[in-house]
Every structure is written in C-alpha cells, then in structure tokens.
Structure 1
C-alpha cells in the first residue's frame, strides 16, 4: 500500500472524538488522495459539490449529503470550486462504551453515502451544530456525550434504512433476504471479542452456502470476508500498540495471528510500516504534543 497513507489523529487525553466545522471559499477546493483512518469518520455537508471514492466505488456529494467511513477503509475525495460548508467528526470505537451504545445501536462497519431528506437534514444540522457549540470541560461532558449518543443512534438508523431501501430497489426478494441476514452477523462480529471466524461458520449463521455468502458479503461491504476479518484484527492490534506496552509477539498472539512474523507482514501490508515503526511514530507524536 505504498500509494496509500493513513492519518493518525491524536485526540486530547481521555477524549475519544473530535469535531471540526469547515467553511471554505470556492477558491479553497481541495483533493485528498487515497488514505484511511484509525478512527471512524462522519462528515455532514451543508453545502458541497464533490466526488468521494470508498474502496474503489465512486459517489457524488451535494448539499445535505451524509458520509460515514468506518476505520481502516480506504477512501479519497475531490471537491469542485464551489463553497464548502461541512462538519467533520472522527471518533474511536471506545466511544461506544463511553456512551453505553449496544452493538445493535452502533453504526456498522459499512460505508454510508446518502442525501438526507429535509426533516433528516434539519435534525442532522441541529445535532452537529449544537455539538460544535458546546464548550470543552468536565462540566459540559455529560451534555456532549448525550448529543454524541443521539447523533450516532441517528446515523445507525439512517444506515439501516439506507441499506434496506437500496436492497429493495436493486434486488429481488431473495437477495433482500440475504442482505438482511448479513447485517445481524456484522453486529455480532463487531461486538464479539473473538477476532477470527471461519467462512463456514459465518455462512451457516446467515443460512447461506459459502459461495452465496461470499458474494453477498462482498456486495454489501466492498471487500471479501477474509479481508474484513484481517482489518478487524489489525484494528485490534493498533489499539494494543497505542494503549499498551505488550511486546509485538504478545500482540500477535492476542489478535489471533499464527505468529509474530506473519502479523508483522500483514500489518505492514495494511498500514505501510511495521508494528514497531508504527508504535515508535505514535510515541514520538505524543511526546511532541506534550512538549507543545
């Protein structure tokens, strides 16, 4: 992945999310090359004309567009020379525990690009604007968390509605049924501490054959089941590299890789550097932020 970079955004201590509001003139159009984040990314566009590509699939953005990109999912963006007004929210998966969000209430590891109806757009604008206006500090934390919980519940609801509507429009009833069977599996996998699940077990859980499950899963997530599991394991490894002092071998074992050499090879393939290099870079960045 030498042509893909990742953004390692450092949040303040104990903070699991960051929100920014951008208002750009037409001459400030920008292009963001292929990259991925260690956090989930949510963007709410009041005004824009842009193209976004997620896992190689292109989507058009316009006013009242909502974009959700799960962690470790490659994407890029090109804006046109028009006024841009948008909110950018990035958050760690640990935020779900802070907000007591059960797996069935969390946005899933599925990208979302949709233009909201007027009532939904007004609600999204109200939530993001209010959240951006709340000042930092321990006294305001309960209000911020309440707003974040409401926002993520709303996004999960929109995501579910969008997936059902798209499946209904583009598929016959049997395919829609398969679509609906895969979504509970994703919710179960996202909440399960076990990082490795066999293709046969996943297909059996969804009531499908191996081949039908594989095709349906790739159509839904834009990646095959094996790659999805690998990203789950890499994501868990990233958390341990950043937040623990475990050795590389211990992290490989905890994340269910066969051995540390295989873990290092797969980590470099996904992240563009070895686990040791990644950890060193994070520690250096944290030292610099403290010094500032």
Structure 2
C-alpha cells in the first residue's frame, strides 16, 4: 500500500458544537475527488441524488440516488462524485464524545468499518426528512435543547439500517508505515490517559524514535507531542461542559503539569480561556458549511 496519497483529516468545529454538518452542497462541473484519508470521527453521508463512487478500505462501491454511507473512525476511505444538476447530499461527522453526551450506545458493535446501503423510497424519504429537519434546526439559534433528541433519532435511524447491510472488512497491510501509525492512534483513542512517551510510541510501531516522529507528523499533520496535547484539551472540554470541577482540578486530571500551562495551551488551541469556554459553550454560532470540496484536476 502506498502512503503518499493517504492523509489524516482534521475535522474543524466551532466552540460549543461537537459535530460537523454540511448540507446540500453541489458538485463542480468537473466533478469532485476526495483523496484517501482517515479521521477520528464517525462519518454518515446521505446521497439523495448523486452519481459517483465511494471506497471504504479496499472495497469500492457505486453511489447513486438514495445511497446511505457509514464510515467508522480511523477507516481509510475516498470518494468521487460526478456533476449532476439535481445533486443533493448531507455529511454528518461526530466522535464518541457526542455519543457519550447523548448517552447513546451504538446498537451494532460488530461494525468495525462501516456500510454502504441503497434504500428503498420509503426509507429514503424518512432519512431525507430527518436530515432536512436536523439541518433546519442546526441553522437556527438557541437550538441545543431541542436538537439533541433529534440527533439521537437520526443516529438511531441510520444505525438501524446496519442490520440490513453487509459488513465491510478492511484488509490491512501490517508492513505499511501508514497502517502502523493509524493502528497506534486507534489504540490511543481507546484510552483516557495520554502521557505516552516518544520511546513507548515508537516501540509500539516497531520504529526508531526519529522515524516514528517523522512518519507521525507526515501522516497526522501535527507532531506526536501536539497530538497528545490536543487529546488532553479535548478531554478537558468534556469536563468543562459536564462537571463543576475547578480549572486546577481539570488541569491535573488531564495530566497537565500545572493550571497555567493548561490555560495557555487551551487558549492557543481553542481561541478562548477554559472559563470562557465553560460559560459560553452553548451560545456560540454554528459552524460554517460553506467549505468546498477540491475539484478533480
């Protein structure tokens, strides 16, 4: 497996919004191609009207009208779309923190990679209705109290279709640097403690520390140290949202050396102080959905 065209995608959200929604984007006349990539989030794509192809792991599938796609975290995937005048699709990306917040347990734990399923018209109309409703509420102000039950309903409806889909098994090349790094990240994501030394990480992958550092940064687009810091910051945001712990207690629980350094790193990454994040996390504007996919060269 070649590595030069594989990359890690950093999903950008705004403060107070812990998922990514993109709705009703068109396709350029030249079409669109999304290169093979992985990310830490679950990805749901709903194609009401579309033509193209979607690859999960090593398996390629056709995209046509009423196609529902689920990709699990850290699974390699790519997409090609052909221009059609009536194209309509929705993209929803969310991580396990969203599921924890909603107290939603995945009903199909055997899904390790994802699925692609063609829905009948009745099921398609229901999914379309839910995405339209969710998008309308997402675009409104002061929506959180009402949107959570709707998000839970949307997720339940999507995952309920998993029982009718063939499970996709992703074949992995254990000798690939890309796969070794990704498998390491998958293992880290299962943990709640992130004080991992460079020596421990490189040993896990069977690399020298220097080779691990170079490979990690090339694939993940950030250094190993910065990756661990961001994991700690993400962990702290959950504590800020859901507990009354002091800033000092949160800094200690998230393995920062002191609260001053924690506040400095939090502000540099999040753009606000931990206190401001805690006080305003439910009133910030929704994220933009105007980012365009790259066109085919």
1:276 is matched with 225
- Residues 17, 95 of structure 1: 8 Å contact kept: yes
Offset at 1:137? 7.7
1:265 is matched with 212
- Residues 57, 170 of structure 2: 8 Å contact kept: yes
2:39 is matched with 37
Measured against aligned partners, the alpha-carbon deviations of 1:187-245 in whole angstroms (never above 9, x if no partner) come to xxxxxxxxxxxxxxxxxxxxxxxxxxxxxxxxx522369899985651353587xx98x
1:173 is matched with none
Partner residue of 2:158 out of 155, 158, 174: 155
Aligned mates of 1:110, 1:252 — CA distance in 2: 27
Aligned mates of 2:35, 2:225 — CA distance in 1: 25
Offset at 1:60? 0.2
Offset at 1:3? 2.1
Aligned mates of 2:157, 2:128 — CA distance in 1: 12
Offset at 1:108? 3.1
1:18 is matched with 20
Partner residue of 1:125 out of 128, 132, 150: 128
Aligned residue for 2:68, secondary structure, equals: strand
Aligned mates of 1:42, 1:107 — CA distance in 2: 17
1:85 is matched with 88
Aligned residue for 1:24, secondary structure, equals: coil
Offset at 1:87? 0.5
2:63 is matched with 61
1:235 is matched with 186
Offset at 1:65? 0.7
Taking a change above 3 Å as real, the CA distance of residues 132 and 247 of structure 1, as seen in their structure-2 partners, is same
TM-score (norm 2): 0.63
1:94 is matched with 97
| CA RMSD, Structure 1 to Structure 2 (Å) | 4.1
- Residues 7, 219 of structure 2: 8 Å contact kept: no
1:290 is matched with 271
Verify: 1:223 aligned to 2:204, yes or no: no
Say which structure, 1 or 2, has more relative contact order (CA 8 Å, 6+ apart): 2
- Residues 52, 61 of structure 1: 8 Å contact kept: yes
Aligned mates of 2:266, 2:62 — CA distance in 1: 35
The number of residue pairs the alignment matches comes to 231
Aligned mates of 1:43, 1:125 — CA distance in 2: 11
Offset at 1:57? 1.0
Offset at 1:280? 7.5
Offset at 1:61? 0.4
Gaps of 5+ in 1: 167-219
Aligned mates of 2:159, 2:74 — CA distance in 1: 19
- Residues 106, 152 of structure 1: 8 Å contact kept: no
Offset at 1:288? 7.1
Taking a change above 3 Å as real, the CA distance of residues 136 and 79 of structure 1, as seen in their structure-2 partners, is closer
